[in-house]
Amino acid sequence: MAIETLPPGSTIGILGGGQLGRMTAIAAANLGYRVHVYAPEKDPPAAQVANAVTTAPYEDKTALAAFADACDVITYEFENIPAEPVSWLAEKKPVRPNPRVLKITQDRLNEKDFLGRIGVATTRYRGVGSFDKLSSIVDEVGRPCVLKSTRMGYDGKGQAKIMADTQLGVAWRQMGAGIGIVEKFVDFAYEASVIVARGLDGAIATYVPVENRHANHILAETIVPAPMPAAKIAEAETMARTIAEQIDLVGVLCVELFVTADGTLMVNELAPRPHNSGHWSIDGAVTSQFEQLIRAICGLPLGSPDRVADCVMRNLIGDEVHLWPELLKEPRAKLHLYGKLEAREGRKMGHVTILGPTK
């Protein structure tokens, strides 16, 4: 089958205007593409580096139609966009990754069921559709466990840990949704992730597994590479390749993993777009995750995911952004600020990657 390659000068539409869209737009410009950002908020980070911007709700079909007419291919920078408008756009222009990928990954229960069908390990889980079923489901899964909303939760939002003495009514209110998923708590040694890219031709590239360290449920630091033996690196990359193939990915996807003390790997979540834990690749890999996304959705050959140096990526959260003058004094530090004016608590304002010696 012939692959339709979009030439430089074509317009890439990005649904969502956050920092992931911003860094994707920069990568697109480096390859000669134009970018049109669609976002409901005014002056989002991605709009500051885009050729065109549509500011409208995701459900505004008049605005969506004009956006589709202006674009040659469409992607998205986060998975909590309503699925219906994305499916509607896909009838007019190519949307990559396709809407089926979005429908699977924006619902935790759908995602876990999908992983189970393709034989990828996860923790034990059960869906729960009402509070009166919670007690029996918790008994079935076993404490400790975690109650999560099936949709919209991120950075620890929409979650409640259930310990031996936790009152279930409190946990249900903390979860804050009508439908949830109960997952057996994993006593992990550390959290890791693998970024995988898949092109229109089915070619796959995986980045080295990395270790992720969190503070207050927000990614604080990524260590590149993760402290995995060679056999576990191969296992993690094989899991990522299997998921990319079975979900029919065109684009990039992050596979978030739990690594237990005995080395067991279990998938925690999937994110079908560039991921915070892949930001190191801008400066530490031959091809960044953002360039890889552009290559994949435009029908270009994938670039090499090889790292050029070991490194540490640190998020700048809230007031940490004001450390930028000191960070720039470090000669092997690469600073990336997202253009956000207000440094709120818990808000990702930028990141810095500290490069180690060249490999």
Residue numbers belonging to the annotated binding site for ATP: 108, 148, 153-159, 183-186, 191, 214, 268-269
Task: Please report the DSSP string for 212-254 in residue order.
Answer: EEEETTEEEEEEES-S--HHHHHHHHHHHHHHHHHTT--EEEE
Cα→Cα distances 265→189, 204, 333, Å: 10, 21, 31
Q: For 285, which DSSP code? A: B
User: How far is residue 151's CA from residue 159's CA, in Å, rounded to a whole number?
Assistant: 11
| Total residues found in the chain within this entry | 359
Q: Are 47 and 25 in contact (CB under 8 A)?
A: no
Q: Which residue ranges make up the annotated binding site?
A: 108, 148, 153-159, 183-186, 191, 214, 268-269
Q: Are 247 and 101 in contact (CB under 8 A)?
A: yes
Angle (CA) 224-248-265 rounded to 5° is 40
Tell me the chain's radius of gyration from C-alpha atoms. 20
Is the CA virtual torsion 41, 34, 279, 256 positive or negative? positive
Q: For 337, which DSSP code? A: E
- The residue type found at 229 is P
Please name which of 52, 47, 56 lies closest in space to residue 22, comparing C-alpha atoms.
47
User: How far is residue 303's CA from residue 274's CA, in Å, rounded to a whole number?
Assistant: 15
Q: Which two tokens stand for residue 177?
A: 């949704």
Cis peptide before 97 (omega within 30 of 0): yes
For 289, phi then psi, to 5°, come to -60, -30
